Amino acid sequence: MESIKSATLSRKKIGIRLLYTLFFLVVIEILKIIIQVAVLFQYVYLFITKTYSKPVRKFSNKVSFYAYRVMRYVTLNENTLPFPFADFPEEKDAPVSPVRFE
């Protein structure tokens, strides 16, 4: 009887994780759009001013790192729920400086 309960609890936890994963798959699609808009804006800004926008660059770095954390969660490589269920992740890698075009 005890093994039946543990199997049921285990399936319940798997189902909950699946629901979180489905939610975060939608979040990933939204993040893709945000990153695409930021990239397009950055290049339009770059063509006009011949320099990049530091705030957009910093924002893009944060969003890309958040997307990385979400991908790790949905691919079962991390157990910590990403933002909004936890704190927004801090940047691990600062943007490279200076930007070169070769």
The answer to whether residue 41 sits within a structural domain is: yes
In the structure encoding, which two tokens stand for residue 67, read together? 């997307």
- Position 6 scores a pLDDT of 58
The answer to whether residue 49 sits within a structural domain is: yes
The answer to whether residue 56 sits within a structural domain is: yes
Q: Which residues of the chain have pLDDT under 50?
A: none
Task: Give the number of domains in the chain.
Answer: 1
96 to 24, 61, 93: CA distances (angstroms): 28, 10, 8
The answer to whether residue 3 sits within a structural domain is: no
The answer to whether residue 10 sits within a structural domain is: no
Domain carrying residue 49: 21-93
Give me the sign of the Cα torsion angle 14, 21, 74, 77: negative
The answer to whether residue 14 sits within a structural domain is: no
Query: Do residues 89 and 40 touch, judged by C-beta distance below 8 A?
Result: no
The answer to whether residue 84 sits within a structural domain is: yes
CA distance 86 to 69: 11
pLDDT digits (tens, 9 = 90+) for 56-78: 988 998 899 999 999 999 999 98
In the structure encoding, which two tokens stand for residue 12, read together? 């319940």
